[in-house]
Amino acid sequence: MKILFATSECVPFVKTGGLADVLGSLPKALKQLDPTLDVRVVLPLYEDIPQKYRDAMRFIGSKYVPLGYKNNYCGVFAFDLEGITYYFLDNEFFFKRGGLYGFFDDGERFAFFSKAVLESMQVTGFYPDVLHVNDWQTAIAPLFLDAFYRLTDGYKTMKTVLSVHNIEFQGRMDKYCIDHIFGLSGRFYSEAEYKGDTNMLKAGIEASNKVITVSPSYAEEILYPYYSYGLENILNARKFKLSGIVNGIDLEKNNPENNKNIVPPFSVNDSDLEAKKKANKDEVLKILGLETDTKKEVPLIAMITRLTHQKGIDLFIAAHHEILKQDVKIVVLGTGEWKYESALREIEATYPAKFKAVLSFQPNLSDKIYAGSDFFLMPSKFEPCGLSQMLAMRYGSVPIVRETGGLKDTVVPYVSATKEGNGFTFKTFDAYDMLDAVKRAVANYVAVDKTSKSYLDRITVRKNAMTADFSWTKSAKKYLEEYKSII
């Protein structure tokens, strides 16, 4: 079986969010599952892709890609990494800019890319059985396939899958784009139109054989207006092709036993796990400039997140006084909206000994924070899957999350009586519900008596978190089943 992933970002080449991590892992996981699969990935050749990769790419050929009334140049480059071939599509007008998104012509840029994905097959000779597109940036490719390529050899039986990583972003533009820029007419025009706009994600929902979200709970949630960002009608009408498969994480790269950033390394089987976690915590507190307590142990709560409304930063800001009134320390690492950055700076100024906001992108520090923290707070308003709660659990940082989307599917509330569960949860998007969950989590922690029930709970919930199975293998199997069901 031949599978081609089309994506606007992919680790290790370019990343703005979890989409890049998924595209960096799922193709490899499929290949490991079944080495006879031919899995390839195609992405734009952005200016931001590091020179070392550019130097190693080979030029395969070029082609002009018709889009509406224009013909646009497209160079095709290839690069092999760990058994996967990556194709990079070059057009300097569209992609030689700093950054990936946020330009006035993003609609045209990614319509071009989506069309170029199909057109470039004539250069590479790689016609997949399944074209797997991701989010709005590539969602219109299945519609272009139907509108312009279906009758040509190579494309006739090609099937399509659309993954929805975040339904908030839909590629919505003025509807003149559909005919004037994308060149679509007739029924294809209607498929790209939604509520009077161009909607590239909706085009993908219409044209793809399967629509897969990144967790089963999110697949249910987006059938309702609270979560659907206006797409509930079309999703309910196309429910027959909608499902959810939870993402995994890279267990090799994220292993507290051999990650070089983590001192000392630790494993769930260590008899002195708590002491090693404490050593990691002291180290990270020192780096952050927060005081370390030698007499009593204070839990460190971490948030590592994009600072957007999706992530529930508003709840934290609303309840921060009550949280920080307790004997806790908190670190937030992330970048994002200015209003959140400035609110966090203000909290830091008010609680300099207890709270630290690191408002920059620092991968090495993030590993240390996962390893050094006791709890990981993620009160998302919505969360299609969420990867950081899984990373946190792997590093023994117990999640405190809102029961939504992938958080609901990966974090099981801890029950002391049964010793089951791997985190603490709350239901409503409400600051006081979140506060209650934080208090429940911390209550377990503060026990000084090492033979007490709550101290045992503290250790059990941490171990449960560390042993939860977030490997890609399970999910890759499910994707493969979906592919087989359509071809």
Minimum distance of ligand GLC from residue 387's CB (angstroms): 5
- Single-letter amino acid, residue 451: T
Minimum distance of ligand GLC from residue 199's CB (angstroms): 19
Q: How far is CA 173 from CA 118, 133, 149, in A?
A: 22, 20, 24
Copy the structure tokens of residue 336: 């994002």
3-state secondary structure of 477: helix
Minimum distance of ligand GLC from residue 54's CB (angstroms): 26
Cβ nearer to ligand GLC, comparing 14 with 19:
19
Minimum distance of ligand GLC from residue 455's CB (angstroms): 33
Q: Can you give the length of the chain in residues?
A: 487
Neighbouring residues of 420: CB distance < 8 A, sequence distance ≥ 6: 412, 414, 464
Minimum distance of ligand GLC from residue 348's CB (angstroms): 26
Cβ nearer to ligand GLC, comparing 410 with 464:
410
The C-alpha angle 395, 275, 300, rounded to 5 degrees, equals: 55
Strand order in the sheet with 375-378: 355-358, 329-333, 300-304, 375-378, 398-402, 424-426
Cβ nearer to ligand GLC, comparing 265 with 336:
336
Cα–Cα distance, 126 to 118 (Å, whole number): 10
Cβ nearer to ligand GLC, comparing 311 with 368:
311
Minimum distance of ligand GLC from residue 247's CB (angstroms): 5
Question: In this structure, are residues 215 and 384 in contact, taking their beta carbons and an 8 Å threshold?
Answer: yes
DSSP code of residue 290: P
Question: In this structure, are residues 143 and 188 in contact, taking their beta carbons and an 8 Å threshold?
Answer: yes
Q: How many CB atoms lie within 10 A of CB 151?
A: 7
Q: Cα Rg for the chain, rounded, in angstroms? A: 23
Q: How far is CA 418 from the centre of its chain?
A: 32
Cβ nearer to ligand GLC, comparing 163 with 444:
163
Binding residues vs ligand GLC (CB under 6 A): 17-19, 22, 165-166, 214, 247, 383-387, 406
Cβ nearer to ligand GLC, comparing 8 with 166:
166
Minimum distance of ligand GLC from residue 341's CB (angstroms): 19
What is the helix (H) or strand (E) element at residue 300, kind and residue range?
A: strand 300-304
Question: In this structure, are residues 162 and 210 in contact, taking their beta carbons and an 8 Å threshold?
Answer: yes
* Location of structure tokens 């599978």: 3
Cα–Cα distance, 13 to 43 (Å, whole number): 9
Nearest CA among 205, 160, 134, 242 for reference residue 486:
160
Minimum distance of ligand GLC from residue 421's CB (angstroms): 21
Question: In this structure, are residues 100 and 453 in contact, taking their beta carbons and an 8 Å threshold?
Answer: no
Cβ nearer to ligand GLC, comparing 243 with 416:
243
Minimum distance of ligand GLC from residue 16's CB (angstroms): 9
Cβ nearer to ligand GLC, comparing 217 with 464:
217
Cβ nearer to ligand GLC, comparing 344 with 401:
401
Angle, in degrees to the nearest 10, between helices 106-119 and 200-207 = 30
Find the residue with minimal CB distance to ligand GLC.
18
Cβ nearer to ligand GLC, comparing 53 with 169:
169
Minimum distance of ligand GLC from residue 315's CB (angstroms): 17
Cα–Cα distance, 332 to 365 (Å, whole number): 11
Q: How many CB atoms lie within 10 A of CB 218?
A: 27
Q: How far is CA 110 from CA 118, 146, 186, 193, 215, in A?
A: 13, 17, 22, 16, 25
Minimum distance of ligand GLC from residue 405's CB (angstroms): 7
Minimum distance of ligand GLC from residue 333's CB (angstroms): 16
Helix then strand then coil, % of the chain, to nearest 5: 45, 20, 35
Cβ nearer to ligand GLC, comparing 19 with 201:
19
Cβ nearer to ligand GLC, comparing 143 with 387:
387
